[in-house]
Amino acid sequence: MKQIVHLFLVVSLISLAACSKPADESVTPDPTAPQAGYVSGRVLDAQNKPIKGAEITINNTGEVIDNLIGYSNANGYYKIKLSTGGGPLVGSYYVRGHVTVNYLNYPFKLALFVEEDRAFSPEEGAVKNLKLMIAGPRSNFGDSGWYGGTIEVDNHTRNTHYPDIEVTLEPLGPLVDGSTGETQVARPDWLYSYNVPVGQYKVTARDVATNTPLAVKNYFYDKAYHTSTTGVFEPILTGSDRYQLVVDVTDL
């Protein structure tokens, strides 16, 4: 897969050194009252429907590798005890969440937005509700970027410059979260356009200065240029929750 430069920070992968807890179907935490020694909450989609099987990770803010994993139940609730059985936890913690959905017969790992996102101590506990978002800024603790995907446009035209390239994406069916998408019009800033809801699109392009159609090619799949192509956002790296679509543009 073609690498994108000057886009994402390098992410250090830390092995989780704690148990994974299955979803408890009976859990219904109080959504307003933190309980000492526990993290609880609910996971919802964009339509406020519960998400089952979302992976919730409790991360240490320091260098202590003592992270915990739990899963949401059929009603979207989760509750994780802040103990590994090896003594009390130390330092402060924050919550992250992911859900994997089957889209176009492929697994898509999607990051979850954490409400009231701040670090907390095990002694105070926390209620952390999460929501599935496929567009918008990532504003979680220590996180940055966008929930939407990134379009990389490689310009192979003779006379068209990046400020004049306009890429139009028309959704082909539901987006990755099952919602109905809208047509997206992207004007790349030199090379990239950010925060496009992840899904499958019909892709076309034009030179806005001359109102001239341009030929497009899906970098990963097309051998030749066409007046339009089909583009599906793909993870920038295997297992990543950040997505890209690479389009080559040239003259018709």
Query: Quick check: 28 pLDDT over 80?
Result: no
With contact defined as beta carbons under 8 Å apart, do 34 and 126 qualify?
A: yes
**179 and 211 assigned to the same domain:** yes
5 in any annotated domain: no
The per-residue pLDDT for 181 is 94
**Domain boundary residue among 145, 160, 187?**
145
> Which of residues 103, 121, 145 is at a domain's end?
145
**Which of 20 and 197 is assigned the larger pLDDT?**
197
Instruction: Identify residue 92 by its one-letter amino acid code.
Output: S
- Whether 125 is covered by a domain: the verdict is yes
List, for residues 187-246, the tens digit of each pLDDT value: 888 889 999 999 999 999 999 999 999 999 999 999 999 999 999 999 999 889 999 999
| Domain membership flag for residue 2 | no
Residue 96 resides in a domain = yes
Q: Is residue 34 part of a domain?
A: yes
Q: What SS3 string covers 95-156?
A: EEEEEEEEECCEEEEEEEEECCCCCECCCCCEECCEEECCCCECCCCCCCCECCEEEEEEEC
Contact (Cβ atoms closer than 8 angstroms) between residue 150 and residue 247: no
The count of structural domains within the chain is: 2
What is the spatial distance between Cα 41 and Cα 223, in angstroms, rounded to a whole number?
A: 48
Q: What is the pLDDT of residue 23?
A: 57
pLDDT of residue 21: 53
DSSP state of 21: -
pLDDT of residue 65: 62
Average pLDDT score over residue span 137-166: 90
pLDDT at 85 over 90: no
CA angle 52, 53, 55 (to 5 degrees): 130
Provide the greatest CA pair distance for the chain: 69
**pTM of this structure:** 0.81
Do 111 and 236 reside in the same domain of the chain? Answer: no
Residues 101 and 118 in one domain: yes
Q: Are residues 208 and 234 in the same domain?
A: yes
Is the domain of 72 the same as that of 90? yes
Average pLDDT over residues 60-65: 72
CA atoms within 13 A on the CB side of 20: 9
Cα-based distances in Å from 30 to 33, 38, 46, 81: 6, 12, 22, 15
Distance, in Å, from the CA atom of 129 to the CA atom of 142, rounded to the nearest integer, reads: 17
Q: Examine the domain organization and report whether 236 and 159 are in the same domain.
A: yes
Q: Does one domain contain both 200 and 90?
A: no
- CATH number at 226 reads 2.60.40
Q: Check whether 77 has a pLDDT greater than 80.
A: yes
Mean pLDDT of 174-195: 91
Average model confidence (pLDDT) across the chain: 85
Domain boundary among 145, 164, 197: 145
154 lies in the same domain as 140: no
Query: What pLDDT is stored for residue 56 in this prediction?
Result: 96
Please tell me what DSSP assigns to residue 4.
Answer: P
Domain that holds residue 139: 10-145
Q: Tell which residue, 73, 133, 130, has the closest CA to residue 96.
A: 130
Mean pLDDT across the stretch 63-86? 83
141 lies in the same domain as 19: yes
Question: Is the pLDDT confidence value at 10 over 50?
Answer: no
pLDDT of 86 above 70: no
Contact call for residues 205 and 229 (beta carbons, < 8 A): no
Same domain, 155 and 103: no
